A and B are shown apart, each in its own frame.
Chain A
Amino acid sequence: MADHTSNGNFGSSTLRLKTGLAEMLKGGVIMDVMNVEQARIAEEAGAISVMALERVPAMIRAEGGVARMANPKLIKQIIGAVSIPVMAKARIGHFAEAQVLQTLGVDFIDESEVLTPADEAHHIDKHAFTTPFVCGAKNLGEALRRITEGAAMIRTKGEPGTGDVVHAVTHMRTIVREMKALTVLSDDELYAAAKNLQAPYDLVRMVAKAGKLPVPNFSAGGIATPADAALMMQLGAETVFVGSGIFMKERATPLDVENNPLEREEAVSRAKAIVIATTHFNDPKIVAEASELVIGSMKGLAAAAIEEAQLMQTRGW
Protein backbone atom coordinates (compact mmCIF):
# COMPACT_ATOMS: atom_id res chain seq x y z
CA MET A 1 0.00 0.00 0.00
CA ALA A 2 1.33 3.39 -0.96
CA ASP A 3 1.79 6.14 1.58
CA HIS A 4 -1.22 8.38 1.30
CA THR A 5 0.07 11.43 3.03
CA SER A 6 3.27 13.29 3.28
CA ASN A 7 3.74 11.80 6.72
CA GLY A 8 3.20 8.31 5.32
CA ASN A 9 4.01 5.63 7.87
CA PHE A 10 6.02 8.14 9.86
CA GLY A 11 5.57 8.27 13.59
CA SER A 12 2.90 7.74 16.17
CA SER A 13 -0.84 8.30 15.92
CA THR A 14 -0.37 11.58 17.78
CA LEU A 15 2.03 12.80 15.12
CA ARG A 16 -0.37 11.63 12.40
CA LEU A 17 -3.11 13.79 13.92
CA LYS A 18 -0.73 16.73 14.11
CA THR A 19 0.45 16.48 10.51
CA GLY A 20 -3.17 15.69 9.58
CA LEU A 21 -4.23 19.20 10.55
CA ALA A 22 -1.30 20.58 8.55
CA GLU A 23 -2.63 18.58 5.54
CA MET A 24 -5.98 20.40 5.93
CA LEU A 25 -4.16 23.74 5.81
CA LYS A 26 -2.49 23.07 2.45
CA GLY A 27 -3.02 25.39 -0.48
CA GLY A 28 -4.10 28.33 1.64
CA VAL A 29 -3.02 31.45 3.47
CA ILE A 30 -2.37 31.80 7.22
CA MET A 31 -2.58 35.44 8.29
CA ASP A 32 -1.05 37.25 11.28
CA VAL A 33 -3.74 39.16 13.19
CA MET A 34 -3.49 41.50 16.16
CA ASN A 35 -7.15 41.97 17.08
CA VAL A 36 -10.63 40.56 16.59
CA GLU A 37 -11.46 42.82 13.66
CA GLN A 38 -8.37 41.73 11.74
CA ALA A 39 -9.22 38.08 12.47
CA ARG A 40 -12.71 38.62 11.04
CA ILE A 41 -11.29 40.28 7.94
CA ALA A 42 -8.89 37.35 7.47
CA GLU A 43 -11.70 34.80 7.75
CA GLU A 44 -13.96 36.81 5.42
CA ALA A 45 -11.17 37.00 2.87
CA GLY A 46 -10.75 33.21 2.89
CA ALA A 47 -7.74 32.67 5.18
CA ILE A 48 -7.47 29.05 6.33
CA SER A 49 -6.10 30.02 9.72
CA VAL A 50 -5.03 33.06 11.71
CA MET A 51 -1.94 33.58 13.86
CA ALA A 52 -2.87 35.59 16.95
CA LEU A 53 -0.15 37.96 18.12
CA GLU A 54 0.20 41.36 19.76
CA ARG A 55 2.62 42.87 17.28
CA VAL A 56 3.34 41.71 13.74
CA PRO A 57 7.04 41.24 12.87
CA ALA A 58 7.31 44.68 11.19
CA MET A 59 6.27 46.36 14.45
CA ILE A 60 8.54 44.17 16.59
CA ARG A 61 11.39 45.12 14.28
CA ALA A 62 10.59 48.84 14.41
CA GLU A 63 9.83 49.05 18.11
CA GLY A 64 12.46 46.67 19.49
CA GLY A 65 12.28 45.32 23.04
CA VAL A 66 11.56 41.76 24.09
CA ALA A 67 8.82 40.11 22.03
CA ARG A 68 6.82 37.46 23.91
CA MET A 69 3.76 35.23 23.64
CA ALA A 70 0.54 37.24 23.17
CA ASN A 71 -1.74 37.94 26.12
CA PRO A 72 -4.11 34.96 26.64
CA LYS A 73 -7.03 37.39 26.75
CA LEU A 74 -6.32 38.43 23.14
CA ILE A 75 -5.89 34.82 22.03
CA LYS A 76 -9.20 33.81 23.65
CA GLN A 77 -11.01 36.75 22.00
CA ILE A 78 -9.70 35.70 18.60
CA ILE A 79 -10.57 32.02 19.19
CA GLY A 80 -14.08 33.21 20.05
CA ALA A 81 -14.39 35.40 16.97
CA VAL A 82 -13.57 32.97 14.12
CA SER A 83 -14.44 29.39 13.14
CA ILE A 84 -11.11 28.68 11.40
CA PRO A 85 -8.09 27.27 13.30
CA VAL A 86 -6.16 29.73 15.47
CA MET A 87 -2.38 29.59 15.89
CA ALA A 88 -0.17 31.49 18.32
CA LYS A 89 3.56 31.97 18.82
CA ALA A 90 5.78 30.86 21.69
CA ARG A 91 9.41 31.94 22.11
CA ILE A 92 12.07 29.45 21.01
CA GLY A 93 12.70 27.11 23.96
CA HIS A 94 9.94 28.64 26.11
CA PHE A 95 7.99 25.48 26.89
CA ALA A 96 5.98 27.21 29.63
CA GLU A 97 4.54 29.66 27.08
CA ALA A 98 3.73 26.64 24.90
CA GLN A 99 1.98 24.95 27.86
CA VAL A 100 -0.17 28.06 28.28
CA LEU A 101 -1.03 28.11 24.57
CA GLN A 102 -2.00 24.43 24.66
CA THR A 103 -4.24 25.06 27.67
CA LEU A 104 -5.95 27.91 25.81
CA GLY A 105 -6.83 25.48 23.01
CA VAL A 106 -4.86 27.04 20.16
CA ASP A 107 -4.80 24.66 17.19
CA PHE A 108 -1.11 25.11 16.26
CA ILE A 109 1.84 26.56 18.19
CA ASP A 110 4.54 28.40 16.24
CA GLU A 111 7.87 28.13 18.04
CA SER A 112 9.01 31.30 16.39
CA GLU A 113 12.19 33.25 15.77
CA VAL A 114 9.99 36.34 15.39
CA LEU A 115 9.80 36.43 19.19
CA THR A 116 12.89 36.89 21.36
CA PRO A 117 14.41 33.43 22.02
CA ALA A 118 14.15 32.17 25.61
CA ASP A 119 16.81 29.46 25.37
CA GLU A 120 20.12 29.73 23.54
CA ALA A 121 20.67 25.99 23.19
CA HIS A 122 17.40 24.08 23.35
CA HIS A 123 14.23 24.19 21.33
CA ILE A 124 10.98 22.98 22.92
CA ASP A 125 10.50 19.19 23.18
CA LYS A 126 7.44 19.22 20.98
CA HIS A 127 6.69 15.53 21.50
CA ALA A 128 5.61 16.45 25.03
CA PHE A 129 2.56 18.31 23.66
CA THR A 130 -0.69 17.16 22.05
CA THR A 131 -1.01 20.49 20.22
CA PRO A 132 0.95 20.44 16.94
CA PHE A 133 3.93 22.74 16.39
CA VAL A 134 5.25 24.59 13.36
CA CYS A 135 8.91 25.69 13.30
CA GLY A 136 11.02 27.78 10.96
CA ALA A 137 14.01 26.52 8.99
CA LYS A 138 16.60 27.98 6.64
CA ASN A 139 17.90 24.66 5.35
CA LEU A 140 17.21 20.93 5.37
CA GLY A 141 19.34 20.11 8.42
CA GLU A 142 17.51 22.68 10.51
CA ALA A 143 14.13 21.42 9.25
CA LEU A 144 15.01 17.82 10.17
CA ARG A 145 16.26 18.81 13.63
CA ARG A 146 12.92 20.51 14.30
CA ILE A 147 11.03 17.45 13.02
CA THR A 148 13.14 15.26 15.33
CA GLU A 149 11.97 17.42 18.23
CA GLY A 150 8.36 16.83 17.15
CA ALA A 151 7.46 19.66 14.74
CA ALA A 152 4.45 18.67 12.60
CA MET A 153 4.97 21.40 10.04
CA ILE A 154 8.00 23.29 8.74
CA ARG A 155 7.99 26.79 7.28
CA THR A 156 10.81 28.71 5.70
CA LYS A 157 12.03 31.45 7.99
CA GLY A 158 12.59 34.13 5.37
CA GLU A 159 13.16 37.49 6.97
CA PRO A 160 9.96 38.43 8.81
CA GLY A 161 8.49 41.91 8.85
CA THR A 162 10.35 43.15 5.79
CA GLY A 163 7.98 42.66 2.87
CA ASP A 164 11.10 41.41 1.08
CA VAL A 165 10.66 37.86 -0.17
CA VAL A 166 14.31 37.23 -1.02
CA HIS A 167 15.21 35.17 2.04
CA ALA A 168 12.05 33.06 1.91
CA VAL A 169 13.09 32.22 -1.67
CA THR A 170 16.65 31.40 -0.61
CA HIS A 171 15.48 29.15 2.21
CA MET A 172 12.90 27.33 0.09
CA ARG A 173 15.36 26.80 -2.75
CA THR A 174 17.97 25.55 -0.28
CA ILE A 175 15.63 23.04 1.33
CA VAL A 176 14.36 21.77 -2.04
CA ARG A 177 17.88 21.54 -3.49
CA GLU A 178 19.22 19.68 -0.45
CA MET A 179 16.33 17.22 -0.62
CA LYS A 180 16.91 16.61 -4.34
CA ALA A 181 20.60 15.99 -3.68
CA LEU A 182 19.75 13.24 -1.19
CA THR A 183 17.59 11.34 -3.68
CA VAL A 184 20.57 10.45 -5.89
CA LEU A 185 22.77 9.14 -3.05
CA SER A 186 23.24 5.42 -2.44
CA ASP A 187 22.35 3.96 0.95
CA ASP A 188 25.95 3.91 2.14
CA GLU A 189 26.39 7.59 1.28
CA LEU A 190 23.42 8.62 3.42
CA TYR A 191 25.35 8.11 6.67
CA ALA A 192 27.81 10.83 5.75
CA ALA A 193 24.95 12.99 4.45
CA ALA A 194 23.25 12.70 7.85
CA LYS A 195 26.48 13.73 9.56
CA ASN A 196 26.83 16.77 7.29
CA LEU A 197 23.20 17.80 7.74
CA GLN A 198 23.50 17.30 11.51
CA ALA A 199 20.24 15.38 11.37
CA PRO A 200 19.23 11.83 12.39
CA TYR A 201 20.02 9.13 9.83
CA ASP A 202 16.47 7.69 9.80
CA LEU A 203 14.93 11.04 8.84
CA VAL A 204 17.61 11.69 6.22
CA ARG A 205 16.92 8.27 4.69
CA MET A 206 13.17 8.98 4.69
CA VAL A 207 13.71 12.24 2.79
CA ALA A 208 16.10 10.51 0.37
CA LYS A 209 13.42 7.92 -0.49
CA ALA A 210 10.45 10.32 -0.69
CA GLY A 211 12.19 13.40 -2.11
CA LYS A 212 10.23 15.52 0.34
CA LEU A 213 9.89 16.25 4.03
CA PRO A 214 7.89 13.81 6.17
CA VAL A 215 5.72 16.77 7.28
CA PRO A 216 4.09 19.58 5.23
CA ASN A 217 6.44 22.33 4.10
CA PHE A 218 5.01 25.85 4.19
CA SER A 219 6.57 29.24 3.56
CA ALA A 220 6.86 32.42 5.62
CA GLY A 221 8.96 35.53 6.02
CA GLY A 222 8.57 38.55 3.75
CA ILE A 223 5.64 37.47 1.57
CA ALA A 224 3.71 40.68 0.81
CA THR A 225 1.97 40.46 -2.58
CA PRO A 226 -0.17 37.98 -4.55
CA ALA A 227 2.77 37.34 -6.89
CA ASP A 228 5.04 36.65 -3.88
CA ALA A 229 2.58 33.98 -2.76
CA ALA A 230 2.44 32.46 -6.26
CA LEU A 231 6.24 32.47 -6.42
CA MET A 232 6.62 30.58 -3.13
CA MET A 233 3.94 28.05 -4.11
CA GLN A 234 5.65 27.40 -7.45
CA LEU A 235 8.96 26.94 -5.64
CA GLY A 236 7.39 24.11 -3.62
CA ALA A 237 5.65 25.72 -0.64
CA GLU A 238 2.40 23.97 0.25
CA THR A 239 0.83 26.98 1.98
CA VAL A 240 1.95 30.54 2.78
CA PHE A 241 2.02 32.57 5.97
CA VAL A 242 1.52 36.30 5.51
CA GLY A 243 2.58 38.39 8.46
CA SER A 244 2.98 42.11 8.08
CA GLY A 245 1.92 42.20 4.41
CA ILE A 246 -1.81 42.58 4.96
CA PHE A 247 -2.45 44.83 7.93
CA MET A 248 0.55 47.20 7.89
CA LYS A 249 0.66 50.70 6.46
CA GLU A 250 4.00 52.13 7.46
CA ARG A 251 6.75 50.11 9.10
CA ALA A 252 5.42 50.51 12.61
CA THR A 253 1.82 51.56 11.89
CA PRO A 254 -0.97 49.12 11.14
CA LEU A 255 -3.95 50.05 9.00
CA ASP A 256 -6.78 51.19 11.25
CA VAL A 257 -9.33 48.54 10.29
CA GLU A 258 -11.51 49.21 13.31
CA ASN A 259 -12.26 52.91 12.73
CA ASN A 260 -11.29 53.81 9.20
CA PRO A 261 -13.46 52.23 6.46
CA LEU A 262 -10.97 53.11 3.70
CA GLU A 263 -8.09 51.48 5.52
CA ARG A 264 -10.30 48.46 6.28
CA GLU A 265 -11.08 48.22 2.57
CA GLU A 266 -7.35 48.29 1.82
CA ALA A 267 -6.63 45.40 4.20
CA VAL A 268 -9.55 43.38 2.80
CA SER A 269 -8.29 43.89 -0.76
CA ARG A 270 -4.78 42.65 0.09
CA ALA A 271 -6.08 39.66 2.05
CA LYS A 272 -8.51 38.56 -0.67
CA ALA A 273 -5.95 38.96 -3.44
CA ILE A 274 -3.31 36.86 -1.69
CA VAL A 275 -5.84 34.08 -1.02
CA ILE A 276 -6.84 33.96 -4.70
CA ALA A 277 -3.23 33.98 -5.91
CA THR A 278 -2.25 31.16 -3.54
CA THR A 279 -4.94 28.78 -4.80
CA HIS A 280 -4.36 29.70 -8.45
CA PHE A 281 -0.56 29.96 -8.16
CA ASN A 282 -0.09 28.14 -11.46
CA ASP A 283 -2.40 30.44 -13.43
CA PRO A 284 -0.67 33.79 -14.14
CA LYS A 285 -3.85 35.25 -15.60
CA ILE A 286 -5.69 34.81 -12.31
CA VAL A 287 -2.66 36.01 -10.31
CA ALA A 288 -2.72 39.14 -12.51
CA GLU A 289 -6.43 39.67 -11.83
CA ALA A 290 -5.84 39.22 -8.12
CA SER A 291 -2.93 41.68 -8.16
CA GLU A 292 -5.20 44.29 -9.77
CA LEU A 293 -7.57 44.08 -6.79
CA VAL A 294 -4.90 45.25 -4.36
CA ILE A 295 -5.19 48.73 -2.89
CA GLY A 296 -1.89 50.07 -1.54
CA SER A 297 0.90 47.93 -0.17
CA MET A 298 3.06 47.50 2.87
CA LYS A 299 6.03 49.81 2.86
CA GLY A 300 8.82 47.27 2.74
CA LEU A 301 12.31 47.13 4.12
CA ALA A 302 15.00 45.61 1.92
CA ALA A 303 16.38 42.60 3.76
CA ALA A 304 19.87 43.35 2.44
CA ALA A 305 19.86 46.64 4.36
CA ILE A 306 19.32 44.96 7.72
CA GLU A 307 22.34 44.63 9.98
CA GLU A 308 23.36 41.08 10.84
CA ALA A 309 22.46 41.49 14.52
CA GLN A 310 18.94 42.62 13.62
CA LEU A 311 18.12 39.53 11.53
CA MET A 312 15.45 37.24 12.97
CA GLN A 313 16.27 34.21 10.79
CA THR A 314 19.56 33.54 12.61
CA ARG A 315 17.67 32.84 15.83
CA GLY A 316 17.30 29.08 16.40
CA TRP A 317 19.85 26.43 15.44
Chain B
Amino acid sequence: MTTSSTETATKGPIIGVLALQGAYDAHAKTIAALGATPRLVRLPTELKGLDGLIMPGGESTTMLKFLEQRGFFDLLKDFVHKVPTFGTCAGVILLAKDVTNPAQKSLGALDVTVERNAYGRQIDSAILHAESKLPGGPLEMVFIRAPRITRTGAPVEVLASRDENPVLVREGHLLAATFHPELSHDSRVHQLFLNMVRDHKENPA
Protein backbone atom coordinates (compact mmCIF):
# COMPACT_ATOMS: atom_id res chain seq x y z
CA MET B 1 0.00 0.00 0.00
CA THR B 2 2.65 2.47 1.00
CA THR B 3 4.85 1.70 -2.00
CA SER B 4 2.29 2.15 -4.77
CA SER B 5 2.95 5.87 -5.26
CA THR B 6 6.58 5.27 -6.13
CA GLU B 7 6.17 2.39 -8.55
CA THR B 8 4.92 4.15 -11.65
CA ALA B 9 5.76 3.59 -15.31
CA THR B 10 9.47 3.71 -16.14
CA LYS B 11 10.93 7.05 -17.16
CA GLY B 12 14.32 8.67 -16.69
CA PRO B 13 17.19 6.79 -15.05
CA ILE B 14 16.17 3.94 -12.74
CA ILE B 15 17.36 4.76 -9.24
CA GLY B 16 17.15 2.12 -6.55
CA VAL B 17 16.31 3.31 -3.05
CA LEU B 18 17.43 0.91 -0.34
CA ALA B 19 14.16 0.33 1.54
CA LEU B 20 15.17 -1.95 4.39
CA GLN B 21 14.10 0.80 6.76
CA GLY B 22 14.31 4.59 7.04
CA ALA B 23 13.55 7.66 4.93
CA TYR B 24 13.23 5.79 1.62
CA ASP B 25 9.83 7.28 0.74
CA ALA B 26 11.10 10.85 0.99
CA HIS B 27 14.05 10.06 -1.33
CA ALA B 28 11.80 8.27 -3.83
CA LYS B 29 9.46 11.27 -4.00
CA THR B 30 12.33 13.73 -4.45
CA ILE B 31 13.94 11.91 -7.37
CA ALA B 32 10.56 11.18 -8.98
CA ALA B 33 9.90 14.94 -8.94
CA LEU B 34 13.24 15.37 -10.75
CA GLY B 35 12.20 12.96 -13.52
CA ALA B 36 13.93 9.75 -12.39
CA THR B 37 12.20 6.43 -11.72
CA PRO B 38 12.62 5.26 -8.12
CA ARG B 39 12.62 1.54 -7.38
CA LEU B 40 12.50 0.32 -3.79
CA VAL B 41 15.20 -2.28 -3.05
CA ARG B 42 14.59 -4.79 -0.25
CA LEU B 43 16.27 -7.89 -1.68
CA PRO B 44 19.71 -8.38 -3.27
CA THR B 45 18.14 -9.51 -6.55
CA GLU B 46 16.52 -6.07 -6.85
CA LEU B 47 19.92 -4.41 -7.43
CA LYS B 48 19.85 -5.69 -11.00
CA GLY B 49 19.28 -3.16 -13.77
CA LEU B 50 19.69 -0.03 -11.64
CA ASP B 51 21.45 3.08 -12.96
CA GLY B 52 22.13 4.33 -9.46
CA LEU B 53 21.33 3.67 -5.81
CA ILE B 54 20.36 5.82 -2.83
CA MET B 55 21.02 4.54 0.69
CA PRO B 56 18.77 6.58 2.99
CA GLY B 57 18.94 7.70 6.59
CA GLY B 58 17.55 5.48 9.30
CA GLU B 59 19.30 3.12 11.67
CA SER B 60 22.48 1.66 10.19
CA THR B 61 22.45 -1.16 12.76
CA THR B 62 19.01 -2.27 11.54
CA MET B 63 20.04 -2.08 7.88
CA LEU B 64 23.16 -4.15 8.58
CA LYS B 65 21.02 -6.95 10.05
CA PHE B 66 19.26 -7.27 6.69
CA LEU B 67 22.48 -6.92 4.70
CA GLU B 68 23.96 -9.84 6.65
CA GLN B 69 21.26 -12.12 5.20
CA ARG B 70 20.83 -13.66 1.75
CA GLY B 71 24.32 -12.65 0.57
CA PHE B 72 23.12 -9.04 0.35
CA PHE B 73 26.28 -7.51 1.87
CA ASP B 74 28.73 -8.90 -0.69
CA LEU B 75 26.48 -8.11 -3.66
CA LEU B 76 25.92 -4.56 -2.41
CA LYS B 77 29.62 -4.11 -1.77
CA ASP B 78 30.37 -5.08 -5.34
CA PHE B 79 27.54 -2.82 -6.58
CA VAL B 80 28.62 0.36 -4.76
CA HIS B 81 32.20 -0.04 -5.97
CA LYS B 82 30.93 0.15 -9.57
CA VAL B 83 27.58 1.97 -9.81
CA PRO B 84 26.80 5.58 -8.73
CA THR B 85 25.58 5.52 -5.14
CA PHE B 86 24.38 8.31 -2.87
CA GLY B 87 24.35 7.77 0.89
CA THR B 88 22.65 10.06 3.41
CA CYS B 89 23.18 9.84 7.17
CA ALA B 90 23.00 6.08 7.92
CA GLY B 91 23.82 5.56 4.22
CA VAL B 92 27.16 7.35 4.71
CA ILE B 93 27.90 5.05 7.64
CA LEU B 94 27.29 2.03 5.39
CA LEU B 95 29.45 3.45 2.56
CA ALA B 96 32.41 4.50 4.74
CA LYS B 97 35.77 2.79 5.05
CA ASP B 98 35.82 3.16 8.83
CA VAL B 99 33.06 3.63 11.43
CA THR B 100 33.54 4.67 15.07
CA ASN B 101 31.31 5.17 18.18
CA PRO B 102 30.98 2.19 18.14
CA ALA B 103 33.00 0.51 15.38
CA GLN B 104 30.81 -1.43 12.96
CA LYS B 105 30.98 -3.30 9.69
CA SER B 106 30.68 -1.21 6.50
CA LEU B 107 30.96 -1.49 2.72
CA GLY B 108 34.34 0.30 2.66
CA ALA B 109 33.72 2.13 -0.63
CA LEU B 110 34.08 5.78 0.42
CA ASP B 111 37.46 6.79 1.82
CA VAL B 112 36.22 8.49 4.99
CA THR B 113 35.94 7.76 8.71
CA VAL B 114 32.50 8.37 10.21
CA GLU B 115 31.63 8.83 13.88
CA ARG B 116 28.04 7.77 14.66
CA ASN B 117 25.63 10.04 16.59
CA ALA B 118 28.47 12.53 16.87
CA TYR B 119 26.40 15.65 17.35
CA GLY B 120 24.36 14.21 20.23
CA ARG B 121 20.78 13.04 20.55
CA GLN B 122 17.55 14.22 18.90
CA ILE B 123 17.46 17.34 21.07
CA ASP B 124 20.71 18.40 19.33
CA SER B 125 19.29 17.98 15.82
CA ALA B 126 19.30 21.20 13.76
CA ILE B 127 18.49 22.85 10.43
CA LEU B 128 21.42 24.95 9.19
CA HIS B 129 22.12 27.06 6.11
CA ALA B 130 25.62 27.30 4.67
CA GLU B 131 27.47 28.03 1.45
CA SER B 132 28.55 24.96 -0.49
CA LYS B 133 30.30 24.24 -3.77
CA LEU B 134 26.88 23.82 -5.39
CA PRO B 135 25.83 26.92 -7.36
CA GLY B 136 22.65 28.74 -6.30
CA GLY B 137 23.32 30.20 -2.86
CA PRO B 138 23.28 28.76 0.67
CA LEU B 139 22.21 25.15 1.04
CA GLU B 140 19.59 24.13 3.62
CA MET B 141 20.92 21.20 5.65
CA VAL B 142 18.67 19.16 7.96
CA PHE B 143 20.73 17.28 10.57
CA ILE B 144 19.00 14.54 12.57
CA ARG B 145 21.05 12.57 15.10
CA ALA B 146 23.76 13.06 12.51
CA PRO B 147 27.05 11.23 12.12
CA ARG B 148 30.29 13.22 11.63
CA ILE B 149 32.93 12.67 8.96
CA THR B 150 36.16 12.87 10.96
CA ARG B 151 38.64 11.93 8.22
CA THR B 152 38.63 12.16 4.43
CA GLY B 153 41.10 10.39 2.14
CA ALA B 154 42.95 12.16 -0.68
CA PRO B 155 40.46 11.23 -3.46
CA VAL B 156 37.50 12.71 -1.55
CA GLU B 157 36.23 16.15 -2.60
CA VAL B 158 34.50 18.19 0.14
CA LEU B 159 31.44 20.04 -1.21
CA ALA B 160 30.08 21.45 2.06
CA SER B 161 31.12 21.62 5.72
CA ARG B 162 29.68 22.22 9.17
CA ASP B 163 32.26 23.92 11.36
CA GLU B 164 35.47 22.09 10.46
CA ASN B 165 33.87 18.82 9.38
CA PRO B 166 32.76 17.81 5.88
CA VAL B 167 29.01 17.15 5.54
CA LEU B 168 28.72 16.68 1.76
CA VAL B 169 31.47 14.80 -0.07
CA ARG B 170 32.09 13.18 -3.43
CA GLU B 171 34.54 10.49 -4.46
CA GLY B 172 34.24 9.54 -8.13
CA HIS B 173 30.84 7.88 -8.58
CA LEU B 174 29.97 8.14 -4.86
CA LEU B 175 28.13 11.00 -3.14
CA ALA B 176 27.54 11.25 0.60
CA ALA B 177 25.68 13.69 2.87
CA THR B 178 25.54 13.47 6.66
CA PHE B 179 22.41 15.69 6.53
CA HIS B 180 19.04 14.99 4.90
CA PRO B 181 18.50 16.64 1.50
CA GLU B 182 15.36 14.48 1.12
CA LEU B 183 13.74 16.41 4.00
CA SER B 184 14.53 19.76 2.38
CA HIS B 185 12.72 21.72 -0.31
CA ASP B 186 16.11 22.26 -1.95
CA SER B 187 16.68 19.47 -4.49
CA ARG B 188 20.13 20.52 -5.69
CA VAL B 189 21.95 17.63 -4.00
CA HIS B 190 19.65 15.06 -5.60
CA GLN B 191 20.04 16.83 -8.95
CA LEU B 192 23.82 16.58 -8.56
CA PHE B 193 23.47 12.84 -7.97
CA LEU B 194 21.24 12.41 -11.03
CA ASN B 195 23.86 14.31 -13.08
CA MET B 196 26.52 11.89 -11.77
CA VAL B 197 24.30 8.96 -12.81
CA ARG B 198 23.84 10.43 -16.29
CA ASP B 199 27.59 11.09 -16.71
CA HIS B 200 28.41 7.58 -15.54
CA LYS B 201 25.91 6.08 -17.99
CA GLU B 202 27.41 8.07 -20.87
CA ASN B 203 31.02 7.43 -19.85
CA PRO B 204 31.20 4.29 -17.72
CA ALA B 205 34.50 4.29 -15.83
Contact = CB atoms under 8 A, between A and B. Distances in A.
Interface of A: 1-6, 9, 13, 16-17, 20-21, 23-28, 43, 45-49, 79, 83-85, 102, 105-108, 130-132, 233-236, 238, 272, 275-276, 279-280, 282-283
Contacts of A6: 25-26
A83 B62 CA distance: 11
B157 to A, nearest CB: 25
Interface string B85-114: 000011000000000011000000000000
Contacts of B182: 4-5
A83 B102 contact: yes
Contact of B21 (A1, A3, A28, A106): A28
Q: Which 4 residue pairs across A and B have the least CB separation, nearest first?
A: A46-B65, A107-B122, A2-B33, A28-B21
Nearest to B180: A20
A27 to B, nearest CB: 4
Contacts, number: 137
Nearest to A103: B123
A25 B63 CA distance: 12
A17 B26 CA distance: 14
Nearest to A131: B123
A233 B2 contact: yes
Nearest to B122: A107
Contacts of B30: 2, 4
B145 A107 contact: yes
Contact of A132 (B26, B102, B122): B122
B83 interface: no
A85 B62 CA distance: 12
Interface in B167-205: 180, 182-185, 187
Q: What range describes how many residues of B lie at the interface?
A: 35 or more
A84 B125 contact: no
B122 A275 contact: no
A304 to B, nearest CB: 27
Interface of B: 1-3, 19-26, 29-30, 33, 42, 57-59, 61-62, 65-66, 89-90, 101-102, 116-117, 120-123, 125-127, 142, 144-145, 180, 182-185, 187
B71 to A, nearest CB: 15
B20 A279 contact: yes
A120 B191 CA distance: 51
Given A132-B122, A279-B42, A282-B3, A4 B65 contact: no
Given A46-B61, A46-B62, 16 more contacts: A4-B33, A4-B182, A5-B26, A16-B183, A17-B126, A24-B58, A28-B21, A28-B62, A43-B61, A46-B65, A48-B58, A48-B62, A85-B145, A105-B121, A107-B121, A279-B19
A112 B174 CA distance: 43
A268 B68 CA distance: 16
A52 to B, nearest CB: 13
Contacts of B66: 46, 276, 279
6 contacts: A1-B185, A4-B33, A27-B20, A48-B58, A85-B145, A280-B42
Given A4-B30, A46-B61, A234-B1, A24 B145 contact: yes
Given A17-B127, A107-B145, A24 B29 contact: no
Contacts of A283: 42
